[in-house]
Amino acid sequence: MRPYNTKQREAILSCIRSLGDAHVTAAQIAERCLDVGRTTVYRHLDRLTKDGTLRRYAADSVSGACYQYTGEDGCGESHYHLKCESCGKLEHLACEELSAVERHVLGKHAFLVNAQKTVLYGQCGDCLNQSFEGE
Amino acid sequence: MRPYNTKQREAILSCIRSLGDAHVTAAQIAERCLDVGRTTVYRHLDRLTKDGTLRRYAADSVSGACYQYTGEDGCGESHYHLKCESCGKLEHLACEELSAVERHVLGKHAFLVNAQKTVLYGQCGDCLNQSFEGE
DNA sequence: CTAGTTGCAAAGAGTTTGCATGGCG
DNA sequence: CGCCATGCAAACTCTTTGCAACTAG
């Protein structure tokens, strides 16, 4: 069953498309789509996550889930995410070195890594510098 | 202020110590400590997380936070987590190969990875086998 | 005795579901 | 016209907070 073209659906799609690869919560989407009910936002987010248009992350069990646009076709190249625990910035990391790790983990540890969904937590360069200066 | 030795505190500590490095939710702790109220469980989990005895993970924004024992001293070796997206199992991965990646990411991408908090998502061996058999 | 602890009840935040109405195709 | 979509209200889950009774030290 392919979805109807309703104005709510358009509003939500246009909103997440405009976000690029930024991460947003359901609440943020709802804020930007004033004419759309919360329920509808959740239903579309859910649906878009299932068909691969969005990816869902558990950013924090208290503040709610986080979604990221991956492109209408659901492909998107394989890359990891680096999330800075200090400033919250999220960077992308696409690098041959990491592909080697994936092969290693699969071969030696029998685990197929899903790079798309994986987030490496830590400190970004900027924040590392700041903490040097500050302390 | 050092904590009082109450029977509830003992029950919770003994429970998490018996879990080794497995991950548990607040609900699971509460189940195993029938004589302890939910509120108290949360309060201790919170406190133990702050003093480093436990680590808190955002496993999934819907099913709640996940805690892991790290030892009374708060040390615990550096290791990654592998979370299977099919069965939900969470494995540990402590391996020199990964340390090499950390150095690479720090050197080439100016990002200091916090292995403790990082979760690699994907499919575990068991589930990979099952999907081969099933389809 | 005093200060930290406990747990019920209630408040909150995020998310899901029931159901009647509305609108795409 | 049929069926999916919408949205309000209510239900649910996880977590936190208020408050009065309790207890370790």
Same domain for A35 and A88, yes or no, is no
Of B108, B114, B122, the CB nearest to A112: B122
Q: What pLDDT score was predicted for residue B40?
A: 96
pLDDT digits (tens, 9 = 90+) for A59-101: 676 677 888 887 654 444 567 778 776 666 677 777 777 777 8
* A70 and A90 inside one domain: no
Q: What does pTM read for this prediction?
A: 0.67
pLDDT of residue A38: 93
Q: Which of A76, A91, A109 is the last residue of a domain?
A: A76
Do B62 and B5 share a domain, yes or no? yes
Q: Which residue in A46, A85, A120 has the most chain B C-beta atoms within 10 A of its own C-beta, making it the best mutation to test that interface? A: A120
Its domain, for residue A18, covers 1-76
B86 shares a domain with B70: no
Q: Which of residues 76-105 of B touch A (CB under 8 A)?
A: 82, 84-85, 91, 93, 95, 97-98, 101, 104-105
Q: Which residue is nearest to nucleotide D14 (CA to C1')?
A: B64
The band of A10, judged by pLDDT with boundaries at 50, 70 and 90, is very high
**Do B2 and B45 lie in a common domain?**
yes
Please check whether residues A64 and A5 belong to one and the same domain. yes
> Do B68 and B87 fall into the same domain?
no
B61 band by pLDDT with thresholds 50, 70 and 90: low
C1'-nearest nucleotide to the CA of A61: D14
Residues B1 and B52 in one domain: yes
Q: Which residue did the predictor score with more confidence, B92 or B14?
A: B14
Residues A87 and A67 in one domain: no
Same domain, A50 and A108: no
Cα B22 from Cα B18, distance rounded (Å)? 9
Report how far Cα B29 is from the mean position of its chain's Cα atoms. Answer: 13
Q: How many domains in chain A?
A: 2
Same domain, A87 and A64: no
SS3 sequence of chain B: CCCCCCHHHHHHHHHHHHCCCCEEEHHHHHHHCCCCCHHHHHHHHHHHHHCCCEEEEEEECCCEEEEEECCCCCCCCCCEEEEECCCCCEEEECCHHHHHHHHHHHHHHCEEECHHHCEEEEEEHHHHHHHHHHC
Q: Inter-chain contact B123–A104, Cβ cutoff 8 Å?
A: no
Q: Which nucleotides of D are covered by protein (CB under 7 A)?
A: 3-9, 13-18, 23-25
Same domain, B81 and B16: no
Backbone Cα Rg of chain B? 17
Q: What is the pLDDT of residue A123?
A: 80
